[in-house]
Chain A
Amino acid sequence: MATLELSVSEDVIVASVQRTRRLGPLFWTATGWMIFVFAVAILAPVLPLPSPTDMDMLERRAPVSALHWLGTDGLGRDELSRLVYGARISLTVGLFAPVIGITIGGALGLLAGYFRGRFETLVVGSMDTLLAFPPLILALAVTAYLGQSIFNLTCILGVLGIPAFMRVARASTLTLARREFVIAAQALGASHARILLRELLPNVALPLVAFFLLGVAVTIVVEGALSFLGLGVPPPISSWGSMIGEGRESLEIAPQLAFIPAIAMFLTVLSFNLVGDTLRALTDPRQGAL
């Protein structure tokens, strides 16, 4: 009877115009940089780089040369190599900490938004309590008590990120759980687990992932700040933050030692922010049927 024609309503059209406008050259440059940094960080061991820990006291704070593409730092170590290996650390912490946030926070938010009632009050209350702690002090306390290590650092930053993810997931779930397709699933006799996993999760995932990218950006900066203060990753491991911290001593004679890692961090954080922001704008529920 009805032949199929793809439907087009005016709102979807106007929205899709705005959507394509956002994926402009800026977005693709940012994505390109992200991919580049990741690739370089992952491939670091196989790249023809000098070791980041090899000290050469004769070549301290050397300028750019054929041997050292970005010069050397205060202890004669190759700057480029340190930058690349530093990326590994910054990105590791930057990625894994929010992973803790998105899994635990996302799950809590999803469950709280779906089941409501006392469970929700409990979850929201405990998250609020966690948020009430000044995060840096908490990080300091934990590292002082448990010692500095990448693992501890990642864990503490991950835990501190849980409330934010919980909020995003819960907000999304609250809107969705009232929509008819969820009620339809309930009317079909679907179990709670099935509704959470098949109906709600695929819809909540997009805003969560968009938020995740923003979380990566924030974590890189926070880790950088902690390492800058000497409270993040322990030496001899160095991340971009600790490189900036070490470069602080040579600011007058060799300012590039502080600026190069700072620029790298800036570009990476900016890229994550841009991509995350774009994805978040795309997942705005008002636009089309997303």
Chain B
Amino acid sequence: MTAAAAQSSRDPLLSVENLVVEYALGGKTVHAVSGVSLQIARGETLGLVGESGCGKSTLGRAVLQLRRAVSGRVLFDGQDLTVMQGDALRLMRRRVQLIFQDPIASLNPRRRIGDIVGEPLVIAGIKDAGRRKQLVRDVLTAVGLDPDLVAGRLPHEFSGGQCQRICIARALVLNPDFIICDEPVSALDVSIRAQILNLLEEMKARFGLTLLFIAHDLAIVKAVSDRVAVMYLGRLCEVGPSEQLFARPAHPYTALLIEAIPVPDPDVRPAESVPVGEPPSPIAPPSGCRFRTRCPRADQRCRDEMPELRTVAPNQYAACHHPLT
């Protein structure tokens, strides 16, 4: 707990403590998240990066209580979300929103955009239709869409990038404090990604948001995050400030991820990839350090003892018995 407590000196808006999320799949248990602790300060963007199956999306959903954790706590602005139910939880939801990976699937294909973006207002109990309409107009304009052209149409008439703008508008309409972005640009074209990332940064500044940005693309995560957490098979490998983490990664997995990124520069010869094989299944994660089966530095200690997050540099923590730095 010491590392988690030391992660943020400022008053954290979100504090996840030892969260464990498991679910059943065909008779077996999937250990999606196995004891993750992190903190996000007000106004900060924390990037959460990892490959498929590492549990980052599950973590995002668990924070919002869309998937109940087996154990652990989620403190939002001091209040424990894991013990909240019913109306109290519903009230809290207005302050925490979620943006998904597939923007078109995130919109009900049978409802008009104006209704979709206004839905949070209805659920929040704003009865005045005129006021709702005005709020919807304001937020659609803020994300760069013309409400007169957009509000009456159906989702399938829009491109992926536009749908994502609509989803962002829906997330912003209640003026939340915290937004979890779950792979918001992965399904979009390269030229549109940049637009949406810029939009998110703009909205963050304008609305004073705190963001948890979940993605598998390191370069994108680095571009928008103040701090980055790297996740592997349900556990955190490394946490640290963006610039520092990428310049001097301490955990071998972080280094592996950085090396694997295809660089759009023909002078950079792609390093002959080390045949590290496939990631193990979260149903039967390896004992001790979960990365040991693909780690060139693994030894007996890694098999016997699960590493905890330890300080390896100022504000940088890695869970490794043999860190790189």
Binding site for B on A (CB under 8 A): 1-4, 6-7, 9, 12, 179-181, 183-191, 194, 198-199, 202-203, 288-290
Binding site for A on B (CB under 8 A): 61, 64, 66, 89-91, 93-94, 97-98, 100-102, 104-111, 119-120, 123-124, 144-146, 149-150, 154-159, 161-162, 165, 167, 170, 195
Contact of A7 among B98, B150, B158 (CB under 8 A): B158
Contact of A2 among B89, B108, B155, B165 (CB under 8 A): B165
Pairs of residues from A and B, 8 with the lowest C-beta to C-beta distance, nearest first: A289-B156, A189-B93, A7-B159, A189-B90, A1-B144, A180-B106, A202-B110, A4-B149
Tell me the bound Cα distance from A6 to B161 in angstroms. 12
Q: Beyond A6-B157, A180-B106, A289-B155, is A187–B146 a contact (Cβ under 8 Å)?
A: no
Contact of B108 among A3, A9, A181 (CB under 8 A): A181
Query: A183 to chain B: which residues have CB within 8 Å?
Result: 61, 66, 98, 100
Query: A4 to chain B: which residues have CB within 8 Å?
Result: 145-146, 149-150, 162
- Cross-chain contact B108 with A290 (CB below 8 angstroms): no
Tell me the bound Cα distance from A147 to B4 in angstroms. 75
Query: B97 to chain A: which residues have CB within 8 Å?
Result: 187-188
Contact of A190 among B123, B155, B161 (CB under 8 A): B123
Query: B93 to chain A: which residues have CB within 8 Å?
Result: 187-189
| Number of inter-chain CB pairs below 8 Å | 83
Tell me the bound Cα distance from A189 to B106 in angstroms. 15
Tell me the bound Cα distance from A7 to B90 in angstroms. 35
- Cross-chain contact A179 with B105 (CB below 8 angstroms): yes
Query: A290 to chain B: which residues have CB within 8 Å?
Result: 109, 156
Specify the chain A residue showing the minimal Cβ separation from B165: A2
Further contacts, 17 of them, CB under 8 A, given A183-B61, A187-B66, A289-B156? A1-B144, A4-B145, A6-B157, A6-B158, A12-B156, A180-B100, A181-B105, A181-B107, A184-B170, A185-B108, A188-B123, A190-B119, A199-B108, A202-B111, A288-B156, A289-B154, A290-B109
Specify the chain A residue showing the minimal Cβ separation from B99: A184
| Minimum distance in angstroms from B67 CB to a CB of chain A | 10
21 A-B pairs with CB atoms under 8 Å apart are A1-B144, A4-B145, A6-B158, A12-B156, A180-B105, A181-B105, A181-B106, A185-B108, A185-B119, A186-B66, A187-B64, A187-B66, A187-B93, A187-B97, A188-B93, A189-B90, A189-B123, A190-B123, A202-B110, A203-B110, A289-B156
